[in-house]
Structure 1
Amino acid sequence: MAQRMRVVVGVSGSPAGPAALHRAVAEARRAGGGAEVLALHAWEPPGGAPGYLRSPCPPLLSAVRAAAEQRLDEALAAASGGAGFDGVPVTARCVRGAPAAALLAAADRGADLLGLGAAGSWWRRGLRGSVPARCVRAARCPVLVLPGPPAAGRAGRAGRRRPGRGAVRAGRARMSAGSPARGLPVDLSAALALLTGAGTAAALGLLGELRPGWFALTAFAAGCAALGGRSRPAAAPLIGLAAWLFHNGFAEHRHAELGWSGPAAETGRLALLIAAALLGTLGATAARRAR
């Protein structure tokens, strides 16, 4: 009995993600015979599996999982426009694990088709490695890699005259009217949150203030608000959790060892840091829309 075709598509939030999802739906529709699409998003706790095993934190894990599920839901809603996929069955699945390993495990039949967006910018490749390259080397089924949206051509910019102030203002007005205010991608904000937490802990250590108290907590909250000002609201929980991780491990309990001072104390600190990040994101979003 012939296997029914299944198109597994990786959804990572990259610029090529919507194109890969649309192409996966088109391939399933072309194949017919009840072909289906599996939209898969892989996520890992901050620091990866080894880091989490060393310092487990269930609240952090739950928040990261919830953020990953939200990213997947938003990607599907944006790709479908809220109108579905014209009768093609699309199943969403959020999997904990490395992206390449999760995709290869899902597309494990010869009748499958694995669809991926291109690796993206250099910082994505540096943080995660090239997921498409790994899948092409190890997949048991055909792999389709879709490029991202074309960037502005460098050759076209050569010799182009600088627009006047009036044209710049008009362009900004069109951008504000025609597209929603955006910030940094959520995964980039999460990575920067870890760097911000480490930098804040190092600065407090140099000042001799890396110890329990309001000074350290205020410094971490200020870092959350500053990074939140460059991020999207969906990133606020991850920014706050990263700050809580460093505050708990270095200011409250020292030596990078997480501890639990009680539900009221730890939940209060976590809520404060997330609120600081959320206020930063909402304030910056409102300012970008007002321009």
Structure 2
Amino acid sequence: MAPGRTLGRDLALPLGTVGAALLVTALMLTGGSAPAPVALAAFLLLTVAFSALARPVVVPAVALVSWLFYDGFVLNGHSDLAFRAQDRTSLLMLLLAAAAGACGAAAVRAVRRRSAR
């Protein structure tokens, strides 16, 4: 694997954390006017993108970081974490988004390997 490809895979978690923090900041600057489903959709897209870059072992951590920011700042506010039904549902959705991103990236890598032969 080329060095440039491994660097992106190594930095996916820290960059995902920065991305989630910037997304929360952007949502807070709008005055919290974004509805929770819209914010969740933004976090889902962010999670898919960074999970596609990450090493498979780090993918659950990418989803967990996204959930911590979403649940703590968007859903519950004031950095409070909760485990009500909507909190658990958002965690499940973010984990599924991370799995989808990782599976998509693995499929692309498999196609590239097959076409390189």
Counting matched residue pairs gives: 108
Is the CA contact (8 Å cut-off) linking 1:193 and 1:238 kept in structure 2? no
Looking at CA atoms only, which structure, 1 or 2, has the larger radius of gyration?
A: 1
What residue in structure 1 maps to residue 81 of structure 2? 258
Q: What is the rounded CA distance, in whole Å, between the counterparts of 2:33 and 2:53 in structure 1?
A: 26
Q: Give the Å deviation of 1:223.
A: 0.5
Q: What is the rounded CA distance, in whole Å, between the counterparts of 1:201 and 1:220 in structure 2?
A: 9
What residue in structure 1 maps to residue 20 of structure 2? 197
Q: What is the rounded CA distance, in whole Å, between the counterparts of 2:62 and 2:35 in structure 1?
A: 20
Higher RCO by CA contacts (8 Å cutoff, separation 6 or greater): 2
Q: TM-score, normalised by structure 2?
A: 0.77
Q: TM-score, normalised by structure 1?
A: 0.34
Q: What is the rounded CA distance, in whole Å, between the counterparts of 2:51 and 2:22 in structure 1?
A: 16
Is the CA contact (8 Å cut-off) linking 1:193 and 1:239 kept in structure 2? yes
Is the CA contact (8 Å cut-off) linking 1:212 and 1:252 kept in structure 2? no
Distance 1:259 1:210, change over 3 A: farther
Selected match of 1:274 from 74, 81, 95: 95
Distance 1:210 1:197, change over 3 A: farther
1:173-184 paired onto structure 2 within 5 Å: 184=9
Q: What is the rounded CA distance, in whole Å, between the counterparts of 1:245 and 1:211 in structure 2?
A: 18
Percent identical residues: 34
Q: Give the Å deviation of 1:224.
A: 0.2
**What is the DSSP-based 3-state SS (H/G/I as helix, E as strand, rest coil) of the residue aligned with 2:23?**
helix
Is the CA contact (8 Å cut-off) linking 1:237 and 1:277 kept in structure 2? yes
1:24-103 paired onto structure 2 within 5 Å: none
Distance 1:210 1:229, change over 3 A: farther
Which string of whole-angstrom CA distances, capped at 9 and with x for unpartnered residues, describes residues 241-275 of structure 1?
10110111111121222233x2x322211010111
1:7-26 paired onto structure 2 within 5 Å: none
Instruction: Structure 1: state its 5+ residue gaps.
Output: 1-174, 176-180
Q: Give the Å deviation of 1:210.
A: 6.0
Is the CA contact (8 Å cut-off) linking 1:229 and 1:280 kept in structure 2? yes
Q: What is the rounded CA distance, in whole Å, between the counterparts of 1:198 and 1:259 in structure 2?
A: 19
CA RMSD for the aligned pairs? 2.3
Instruction: Structure 2: state its 5+ residue gaps.
Output: 113-117
Matched, 1:290 2:115: no
